[in-house]
């Protein structure tokens, strides 16, 4: 979140001139990373709560980021940016939850091999 805030405070991060639409892809990408990390952080909750809380926290942070950009010279707040922030958060959360499901499946279906001492490894 701190990294997002830092780049939001810059009038033109990296002096990039992006062709139309690419900034929305970057918003989606950076917020999907945030959504993934939020879902991993919330892992002790049940799956539905992780999905809802991860999406809500990420989206609210996106809203605060757009409000912050409104006050930064050379930047502007955008409803479309907020939309792509929210979509990115949702994508990242879904990726984290699916990876969690795969890990659980692998763990549940793992074959145990007895070792020679009578234990299981």
In tens, the pLDDT along 41-90 reads 998 998 889 999 999 999 999 999 999 989 988 888 899 999 999 999 99
Decide if 42 is inside a domain: yes
Distance in angstroms (rounded) separating the CA atoms of residues 84 and 86: 5
Question: Could you tell me if residue 110 is inside a domain?
Answer: no
62 with 85: CB under 8 angstroms?
A: yes
Q: What are phi and psi for residue 103, nearest 5 degrees? A: -60, -45
pTM equals 0.78
- Determine, yes or no, domain membership for 65: yes
Is residue 16 one of the residues assigned to a domain? Answer: no
- Residue 23, in any domain of the structure: no
Which residue range(s) make up the domain with 41?
28-100
Count other Cβ atoms within 10 Å, centred on residue 40.
16
Domain count, the chain: 1
Residue 36's H or E segment, with its range, is helix 22-41
3-state SS class at 114: strand
């Amino acid at each position: 979140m701190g990294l997002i805030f830092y780049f939001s405070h810059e009038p033109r991060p990296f002096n990039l001139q992006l062709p139309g639409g690419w900034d929305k892809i970057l918003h989606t990408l950076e917020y999907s990373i945030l959504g993934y990390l939020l879902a991993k952080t919330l892992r002790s909750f049940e799956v539905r709560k992780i999905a809802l809380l991860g999406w809500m926290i990420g989206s609210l942070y996106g809203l605060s980021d757009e409000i912050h950009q409104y006050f930064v010279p050379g930047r502007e707040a955008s409803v479309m940016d907020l939309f792509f922030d929210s979509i990115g958060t949702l994508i990242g959360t879904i990726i984290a939850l699916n990876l969690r499901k795969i890990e659980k499946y692998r763990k549940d279906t793992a074959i145990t091999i007895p070792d020679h001492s009578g234990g299981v490894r």
